[in-house]
């Protein structure tokens, strides 16, 4: 191990110093450390390599302090701005070290592996931060240990980082797929703490904490494993260009003291908002009052109510040069000859160009360069304003921009060059007619392609029968039929419009048929989507919780247990979806009160019931939501209901059956027989009706919970819908009649087809997900892995071969843009007559398409044999089919 101790004539050295000097590192003094600013590859190539492949950074010069003692959390709450109490184990959080004036001594990262806490601070501030903490620690029962010399720190950032670490680890699991998660793995027999953190803006990146004496061997192992794939060692120069492109602050530039010698307010930099907590539980802390005053000014800025204030005169914004040139820190910025700001950081940055659109965008081999900066500018200057920057006596045109790049689309950071807007075309009468013809032509072409030439395997889609489709556009399409139960009318439904006798009849028949299909008496059919059905239940549950006191601010659902979206959970059951406005926030974590079901390590498509029981022993959710959008197996309704029987207050068990509503019954599962209270669903997936939603419940009239059902009816109308799309309601009635007539042949055929398709794909050598002991799937869905981040591209290639699927993030993927999988469903093609042998035959064609051969003509010929809709009444009532067609 290299001696890291400081002397008067020797810079500090990390435990990787020898490697740097032997491998072309250009060494410089950085905060008292002898560090590589670049290697022989050069800063620009190191930047590009990190963005496309991976970059390996020695960041051992950063300070690392361990905090111990019974007052650890209270101490951290006092000296840091973020809420340390909210930090879950095996998580990290960005935080700040404030002074009393609302400025910053430093920014930092707090890590909480297991029962420990340690803090990473900037190298140049290590001694200052240490002395500050030692002084503050006198009032607390804590001890601080400086482990900077004992623990090395390596950052491995870039698209290949996760795959390479996974290959070289021997034990342990990689951190969960969301940012700031931690875990321990073993590399070369050494235990390594791994964090999904970093200072490059990369959507995939890790920081490793390693015993110093083992660091060089592990560094060399990573470098050796990755070098043939483009991974390079990266110095401080490219680290700076990467953080600047990502819009991240650097102490001494965006934090600390400005060019005029004044303290920079913490909230002048936008990232501060995620690092400061004013939670009541956090209480008072250093600089709280000053920071709160700054926060109020930021709030006014966002609401358009800001007026010049001494509290927050300037803020930092990204700036891009329009003219050729490079701007550097200290350059002045002008608006119409008035100086309005100063560049805090600026340089020329290379970037990779992308081609294509949306999620199918692909990185190319083309490179460009752009001059970009961060500017400390008067807070009154609006975003996207064109400015001038004075560079060496010459004024260059520049523009404020929202950002220089974005990282929410793994595996790549996407550079966003400045956009020069063009004038939009003016509509003329001739142009409108041309657009009309184009719409009609493209609609006909699309219908012919999707309905006649394609094999559609999207599991959330379904073609309706001809009778269903025609009924949807008959009168009462476009009519109104609002109604509600009126107690004064002897609990009868009262309609607000005339001409609704037929509509009332159709609604009643739909409820009756849906009751027959679902097997329970309480049904609400007025919702026009599955997501709206969920929102109605959430809203009703809030109403039910507050039924005894409606004068105060309504309480939200205190805790919800659900399937995480990354493990296949429904979007509408997440805080980012329909649940957001109805679930409470945890006062400790300051996050939405969500408890995710744990999953089995060997089959993440199943809930881990043992761990679920442990969670339910510790927590009391008010609502449990089962169901997934990526669902291969039945949900364990009965097992979870049994776990809850011992609780004094049992939560509501809701099953979102959006994808599997059409399979409810003996061939899949019956949630009500297993103990569910409420089901919601979409009526256009495996249930082959119109695009609408439905709610069903198993409550008995007179029971206390029946009030929840009455709340659901109230929140359906007038809470969620007014006119509830009466044409699609009529189509749904026809589809429900079809379902009741054919479910006993349709449902087992769907499941049998899915199993046959899954097994055939596995026999072709594809990596099929799910439990092979049950045929990989027990629903209509089949999930196949095609390679990390390859799902989007393969799905696009399949579309070119007339095979329609959707790319899918599997549980180990970070985002839908880094999807490794394809999610498929067999329900629609089952209705077009395909059976087990047909799916086995098609699996061979599918496999060739996955491996790059265009099989579009073969797929079109294959589809010619499956043009007739089954499990419907189209062939039974030709006279009505003709009469309905003749109406139009």
- What is the domain-level CATH number for residue 697? 3.40.640.10
Instruction: Select from 733, 296, 815, 176 the least CA-distant residue to 472.
Output: 733
Please give the model's pTM, rounded to 2 decimal places. Answer: 0.90
- Say yes or no: 624 and 745 in one domain: no
- Residue 331 is part of a domain; what is its CATH number? 2.40.30.110
| Same domain, residue pair 684 and 751 | no
DSSP-based three-state secondary structure for 640: helix
Q: What pLDDT does residue 2 have?
A: 37
Closest CA to 699 of 712, 714, 716, 683: 712
Domain count for the chain: 3
Q: Which helix (H) or strand (E) holds 121?
A: strand 117-121
Both 606 and 659 in a single domain? Answer: yes
What pLDDT sits at residue 549? 87
Residues 593 and 622: beta-carbon distance below 8 Å: no
User: What are residue 713's phi and psi, to 5 degrees?
Assistant: -65, -40
User: What is the rounded distance in angstroms from the CA atom of residue 466 to the CA atom of residue 473?
Assistant: 11
Both 683 and 583 in a single domain?
Answer: yes
Do the domain assignments include residue 871?
no
Domain assignment of residue 569, yes or no: yes
- Does residue 682 share a domain with residue 576? yes
Burial of 146 (0-12, 13-18, 19+ CB in 10 A): middle
Nearest C-alpha neighbor of 657 from the set 636, 683, 677 = 683
Please give the structure tokens belonging to residue 245: 């492109």
Give yes or no: residues 641 and 751 share one domain. no
Domain that holds residue 411: 313-419
> Does residue 497 fall inside a structural domain?
no
Query: Beta-carbon neighbour count of residue 727 at 10 Å?
Result: 17
750 and 854 both lie in a single domain: yes
- Whether residues 689 and 749 fall in one domain: no
Q: Outline where 387-500 has alpha helix (H).
A: 429-448, 466-472
Low-confidence ranges of the chain (pLDDT < 50): 1-3, 5-8, 422
Residues 794, 713, single domain; the answer is no
Q: What's the CATH code of the domain at 776? A: 3.90.1150.10
8 Å CB contact between 654 and 680? yes
Helix-then-strand count for the chain, H and E: 22, 37
Structure-token pair, residue 124: 């140049």
| Same domain, yes or no: 602 and 564 | yes
Domain boundary among 722, 751, 783: 722
* Region label for 566, one of left (φ > 0), alpha (ψ between -120 and 50) or beta (otherwise): alpha
Q: What is the CA radius of gyration of the chain?
A: 31
Nearest to 467 by CA among 888, 852, 880: 880
Domain contains 387 = yes
């Amino acid at each position: 191990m290299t001696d890291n101790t400081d002397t008067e004539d020797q810079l500090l050295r990390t435990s990787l110093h020898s490697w740097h000097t032997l491998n072309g590192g250009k060494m410089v003094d950085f905060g008292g450390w002898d560090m590589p600013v670049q290697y022989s590859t050069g800063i620009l190539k190191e930047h590009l390599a990190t963005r496309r492949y991976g970059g390996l950074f020695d960041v051992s010069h950063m300070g690392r302090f361990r905090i111990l003692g019974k007052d650890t959390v209270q101490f951290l709450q006092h000296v840091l701005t973020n809420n340390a109490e909210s930090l879950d184990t095996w998580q990290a959080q960005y935080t700040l070290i404030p002074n009393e004036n609302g400025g910053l001594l430093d920014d930092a990262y707090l890590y909480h592996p297991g029962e420990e806490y340690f803090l990473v601070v900037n190298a140049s501030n290590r001694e200052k931060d240490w002395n500050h903490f030692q002084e503050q620690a006198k009032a607390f029962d804590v001890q601080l240990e400086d482990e900077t010399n004992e623990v090395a720190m390596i950052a491995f950032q870039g698209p290949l980082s996760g795959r390479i670490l996974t290959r070289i680890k021997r034990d342990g699991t990689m951190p969960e797929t969301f940012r700031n998660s931690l875990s321990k793995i073993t590399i070369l027999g050494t235990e390594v703490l791994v964090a999904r953190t970093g200072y490059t803006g990369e959507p995939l990146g890790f920081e490793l904490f390693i015993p110093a004496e083992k660091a060089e061997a592990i560094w060399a192992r990573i470098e050796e494993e990755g070098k043939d794939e483009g991974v390079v060692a990266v110095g401080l120069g490219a680290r700076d260009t990467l953080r600047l492109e990502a819009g991240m602050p650097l102490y001494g530039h965006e934090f600390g003291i400005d060019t005029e010698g004044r303290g920079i307010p913490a909230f002048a930099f936008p990232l501060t908002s995620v690092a400061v907590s004013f939670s009541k539980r956090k209480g008072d802390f250093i600089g709280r009052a000053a920071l709160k005053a700054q926060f109020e000014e930021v709030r006014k800025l966002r609401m358009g109510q800001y007026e010049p204030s001494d509290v927050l005169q300037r803020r930092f914004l990204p700036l891009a040069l329009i003219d050729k040139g490079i701007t550097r820190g200290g350059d002045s910025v002008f608006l119409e000859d008035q100086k309005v700001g100063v560049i805090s950081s600026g340089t020329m940055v290379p970037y990779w160009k992308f081609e294509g659109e949306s999620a199918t965008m692909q990185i190319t081999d083309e490179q460009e360069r752009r001059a970009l900066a961060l500017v400390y500018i008067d807070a009154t200057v609006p975003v996207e304003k064109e400015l001038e920057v004075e560079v060496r006596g010459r004024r260059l045109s520049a523009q404020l921009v929202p950002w220089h790049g974005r990282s929410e689309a793994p595996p790549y950071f996407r550079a966003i060059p400045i956009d020069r807007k063009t004038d939009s075309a003016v509509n003329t009468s001739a142009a409108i007619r041309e657009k009309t013809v184009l719409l009609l032509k493209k609609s006909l072409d699309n219908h012919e392609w999707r309905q006649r030439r394609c094999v559609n395997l999207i599991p959330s889609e379904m073609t309706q029968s001809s009778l269903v489709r025609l009924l949807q556009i008959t009168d009462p399409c476009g009519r109104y039929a609002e109604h509600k139960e009126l107690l004064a009318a002897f609990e009868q439904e009262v309609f607000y419009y005339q001409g609704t006798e037929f509509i009332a009849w159709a609604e009643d028949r739909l409820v009756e048929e849906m009751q027959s299909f679902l097997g329970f008496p309480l049904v609400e059919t007025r919702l026009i989507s599955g997501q709206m059905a969920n929102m109605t239940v959430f809203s009703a549950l809030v109403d039910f919780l507050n039924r005894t006191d409606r004068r105060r601010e309504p309480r939200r659902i205190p805790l919800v247990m659900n399937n995480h979206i990354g493990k296949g959970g429904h979007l509408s059951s997440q805080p980012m979806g329909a649940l957001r406005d109805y679930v409470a926030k945890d006062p400790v974590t300051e996050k939405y009160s969500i408890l995710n079901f744990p999953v089995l390590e060997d089959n993440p498509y199943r809930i881990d019931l043992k761990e679920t029981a442990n969670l339910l022993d510790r927590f009391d959710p008010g609502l449990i939501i089962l169901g997934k959008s990526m669902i291969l197996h039945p949900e364990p309704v009965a097992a979870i209901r049994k776990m809850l029987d011992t609780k004094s207050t049992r939560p509501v068990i809701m099953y979102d059956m959006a994808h599997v509503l059409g399979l409810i019954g003996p061939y899949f599962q019956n949630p009500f027989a297993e103990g569910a209270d409420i089901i919601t669903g979409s009526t256009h997936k495996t249930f082959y009706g119109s695009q609408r939603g439905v709610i069903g419940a198993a409550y008995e009239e007179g029971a206390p919970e029946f009030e929840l059902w009455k709340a659901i009816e109230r929140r359906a109308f007038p809470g969620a819908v007014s006119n509830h799309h009466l044409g699609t309601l009529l189509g749904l009635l026809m589809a429900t009649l079809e379902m009741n007539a054919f479910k006993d042949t349709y449902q087992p055929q769907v499941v049998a087809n899915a199993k046959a398709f899954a097994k055939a794909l596995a026999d072709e050598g594809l990596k099929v997900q799910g439990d092979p002991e049950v045929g990989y799937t027990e629903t209509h869905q089949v999930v196949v892995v095609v390679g990390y981040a390859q799902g989007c591209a393969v799905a696009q290639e399949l579309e070119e071969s007339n095979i329609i699927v959707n790319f899918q993030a599997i549980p180990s993927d970070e985002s839908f843009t880094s999807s490794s999988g394809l999610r498929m469903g067999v329900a629609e093609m089952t209705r077009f007559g395909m059976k087990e042998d047909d799916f086995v035959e098609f699996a061979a064609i599918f496999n060739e398409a996955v491996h790059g051969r265009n099989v579009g003509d073969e797929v079109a010929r294959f589809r010619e044999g499956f043009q007739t809709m089954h499990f419907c009444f189209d062939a039974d009532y030709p006279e009505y089919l003709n009469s309905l067609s003749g109406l139009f």
